[in-house]
Structure 1
Amino acid sequence: MKIGVISDTHDNLPKIKKAVEIFNNEGVQLVIHAGDIIAPFAVEAMSELQCRVIAVLGNNDGEKIILARKFEDIGELHANMAQIEIGGKKIAVVHYSDSVEALAKSRQFDIVIYGHTHKIDVRKEETLIVNPGECGGWVTGKSTVALVDLDELDVEVREL
């Protein structure tokens, strides 16, 4: 079973649409957004996904009430942290990096997903840690998403 992981979209609609295309083509069962969606119209761009989206808010997500309403149609939006169980795996999702190590060391999760840094980070220790980098590409000039195989706990980072 595969899931898609995306973060820091920062309203870059062409890149969001490309990510949606990749996730649909790969047949992911769920997309996880690790925050910094930014505007409600970015959620509308994700409505073409053929699966649900579970997201957490990031530091730049301002219109929280409208974002939450938009997410009612496509999935779930959580304030600080989402805890997900899918495919027999427990997943923690946060935006900020400051709690990642503690979550991983807690041994309560198989996977910890985060965003915020705009830097790709894939580490497989006892807990798989995944930051897909930034979809928006505004900071690094590189737009990326990740595909996670839950059966093998393998990660493939794709450039958009």
Structure 2
Amino acid sequence: MKIGLLADSHDNVSHLHQAVELFNTEGVELVLHAGDFVAPFAIVALQGLRSRVVAVFGNNDGERVGLTNKFTAAGWEVHPNLAQVEIGGRRIGVVHEPELVPALAAGGYYDLVVYGHTHEVEVRRERDTLIVNPGEAGGWLTGRATVALVELETLEVQIRDLSASL
């Protein structure tokens, strides 16, 4: 079972469309967004997904009522700080801020912790927990738009560069 990860899309609708195409092609069953969509109009770009979406707000998500309405209308979930998901026999925690990651990993409850905010790709293990920051899907800060694919059975991570296909 495969899931898709993204964060920090920052209203880059073009890259969101590319992420949707990639996630649909790869047959992901769940997409996790670690925050910073920014505006509600950007959520429309995700509506072509053939999977469920669970997300958290980021520090740049100021219009939370509008974002919540878009998520609710699509039948998806968005959480203020922490999203907890169980899928494929794995427990996953999703946050935006990296400051929360050490505590989530140290607790030993989660198999996978996903975060954003830094706009930098990171894949590492802390004890028995895989920690992934998929980088920035928006590509505005670094010039590199990335997302991640995770095979839940093996916890193998692939970082995919959306910028390369532009």
User: What is the TM-score with the length of structure 2 in the denominator?
Assistant: 0.95
- Please show how residues 3-152 of structure 1 align to structure 2 within 5 Å: 3-72=3-72, 73-125=74-126, 126-152=128-154
Q: Helix, strand or coil for the counterpart of 1:32?
A: strand
Partners of 1:74 and 1:67 in 2: how far apart?
12
- What is the distance in 2 between the residues matched to 1:42 and 1:154? 29
CA–CA separation in structure 1 for the residues paired with 2:7 and 2:95? 10
Q: What is the CA distance between 1:74 and its match in structure 2? A: 4.0
Structure with the higher fraction of residues in helix conformation:
2
**What is the CA–CA distance in structure 2 between the aligned matches of 1:84 and 1:19, rounded to whole Å?**
21
Identical counterparts, % of pairs: 57
Number of equivalences? 160
Cα offsets for 1:15-56 (capped at 9, x unmatched): 000000000000000000000011111111001000111000
- Aligned to 1:98, the other structure's residue is in SS state helix
Q: Which digits, 9 at most, give the CA deviation of each residue in 1:61-115, with x for residues without a partner?
A: 0110010010011410000000110000000000000010111010010000000
CA–CA separation in structure 1 for the residues paired with 2:103 and 2:69? 31
Give 3-state SS (helix, strand or coil) of 2:98's partner: coil
Moved over 4 A (4+): none
RMSD: 0.7
1:124 is displaced (CA, Å) by 2.7
Which residues of structure 1 form unaligned runs of 5+?
none
AA at the equivalent of 2:140: W
Q: Which runs of 5+ in 2 are unaligned?
A: none
TM-score (norm 1): 0.98
